[in-house]
């Protein structure tokens, strides 16, 4: 007897959740004896469903939705002693965790893989009582997220955020940040600070090319003051080479970092605004297991 809970956000991405539900249920039925399908109706439903799946010792919980839905599912199981294996069917715009795990961004293909994909360990991050699976950003990205319209997001995907971010570089002075970790301290100004668990940030799969999903590390990028054209020149590196070795970037890895500011700055976690500084961010090394194709 094996049980899986399939949690679907019907509003994610292009609202394709209902269309893919039947195929997903059928595919999971090849692997598990019982498939419990739940549709979310509002914020935190996915967290509550996933928590219940952990408490009732389901073998697996599959999140079908955008990064917000996957984050909610992870939040639901992270705190539990018994944690079901996670499955992901990406329906959103960015889908960073799916990219990092080599899970196809085509929903049908991602569903097919769940029939027999092996599981592998997965790091997640924690700050205060929040969890994240991909990225924490402080600074310009928060502005960019608010400026991007739904139409831009649908037609341009992650490039829309980059364009809005570039515009914001022109209009804003950098933010005062104090950062403290065993490996490094920083007290200065930055337009953008990024802490990543995986290689894919904002849909750019080469952003943190050193990062592995189970390396037990936070990858910290402090972008130094940039002009608009410096930022534009960084684009090829973003698309292909990774930005850790760019002149305008301070990069290090750690397991825990505290970030503070004399300003009341919002933070962005996995693409959504979530709380304010100060925060202490830590990695929970290999805290979850996740179904994913055999990685390269």
Ligand X SMILES: Nc1ncnc2c1ncn2[C@@H]1O[C@H](COP(=O)(O)OP(=O)(O)OP(=O)(O)O)[C@@H](O)[C@H]1O
CB of 294 to ligand X, least distance (A): 25
Q: Is the distance from CB of 20 to CB of 111 less than 8 angstroms?
A: yes
Buried b (16+ CB within 10 A) or exposed e, 251-262: bbbbeebbbbbe
Residue with tokens 């997220």: 145
Residue 46: closest CA among 270, 281, 294: 270
Residue 136: closest CA among 71, 84, 66, 50: 71
CB of 159 to ligand X, least distance (A): 14
Member of 4, 6, 12, 220 binding ligand X (CB under 6 A): 12
Q: Is 247 in the site for ligand X (CB under 6 A)?
A: no
Q: Is 9 in the site for ligand X (CB under 6 A)?
A: yes
The residues with which 186 forms a beta bridge, in sequence order, are 179
Site string for ligand X, 103-132 (x = CB under 6 A): ------------------------------
Pairwise CA distance, residues 132 & 134, whole Å: 6
The footprint of ligand X on residues 80-99 (CB under 6 A) is 92-94
Member of 1, 41, 129, 296 binding ligand X (CB under 6 A): 41
- Does the annotation count 128 as an active-site position? no
Pairwise CA distance, residues 285 & 278, whole Å: 22
Residue 218 backbone phi and psi in degrees, to 5:
-95, 130
Member of 84, 139, 203, 271 binding ligand X (CB under 6 A): 271
Member of 67, 123, 143, 205 binding ligand X (CB under 6 A): 67
Q: Is 203 in the site for ligand X (CB under 6 A)?
A: no
Q: Is 68 in the site for ligand X (CB under 6 A)?
A: yes
Q: Is 202 in the site for ligand X (CB under 6 A)?
A: no
User: Which is the catalytic residue, given 106, 187, 245, 272?
Assistant: 272
H-helix segments, the chain:
17-29, 45-55, 67-78, 96-100, 107-113, 140-147, 150-156, 158-171, 228-233, 235-236
Pairwise CA distance, residues 187 & 233, whole Å: 26
CB of 133 to ligand X, least distance (A): 12
Complex with ligand X: residue 18 or 57, whichever CB lies closer: 18
Instruction: With CB under 6 A as the rule, give the number of residues binding ligand X.
Output: 20
Q: Is 157 in the site for ligand X (CB under 6 A)?
A: no
Q: Which residues are catalytic?
A: 272
List residues near ligand X by CB under 6 A: 9-13, 40-43, 45, 65-69, 72, 92-94, 271
């Amino acid at each position: 007897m094996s049980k899986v809970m399939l949690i679907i956000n019907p509003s994610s991405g292009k609202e394709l959740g209902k269309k893919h539900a039947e195929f997903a249920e059928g595919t999971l039925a090849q692997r598990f004896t019982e498939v419990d399908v739940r549709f979310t109706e509002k914020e935190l439903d996915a967290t509550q469903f996933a928590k219940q799946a952990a408490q009732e010792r389901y073998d697996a919980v599959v999140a079908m939705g955008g990064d917000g839905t996957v984050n909610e599912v992870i939040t639901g199981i992270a705190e539990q002693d018994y944690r079901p294996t996670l499955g992901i069917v990406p329906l959103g715009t960015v889908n960073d965790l799916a990219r990092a795990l080599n899970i196809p961004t085509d929903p049908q293909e991602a569903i097919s893989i769940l029939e027999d994909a092996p599981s592998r360990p997965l790091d997640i991050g924690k700050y205060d009582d929040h969890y994240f699976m991909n990225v924490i950003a402080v600074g310009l990205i928060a502005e960019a997220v608010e400026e991007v319209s739904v139409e831009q997001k649908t037609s341009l995907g992650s490039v829309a955020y980059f364009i809005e971010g570039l515009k914001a570089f022109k209009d804003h002075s950098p933010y005062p940040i104090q950062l403290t970790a065993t490996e490094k301290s920083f007290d200065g100004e930055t337009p953008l600070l990024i802490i990543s668990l995986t290689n894919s940030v904002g849909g750019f799969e080469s952003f943190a090319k050193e990062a592995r999903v189970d390396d037990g590390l936070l990858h910290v990028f402090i972008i130094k003051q940039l002009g608009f054209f410096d930022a534009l020149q960084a684009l090829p590196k973003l698309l292909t080479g990774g930005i850790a070795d760019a002149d305008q970037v301070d990069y290090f890895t750690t397991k825990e970092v505290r970030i503070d500011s004399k300003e009341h700055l919002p933070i962005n976690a996995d693409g959504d605004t979530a709380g304010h500084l100060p925060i202490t961010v830590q990695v929970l090394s290999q805290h979850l297991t996740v179904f994913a194709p055999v990685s390269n």
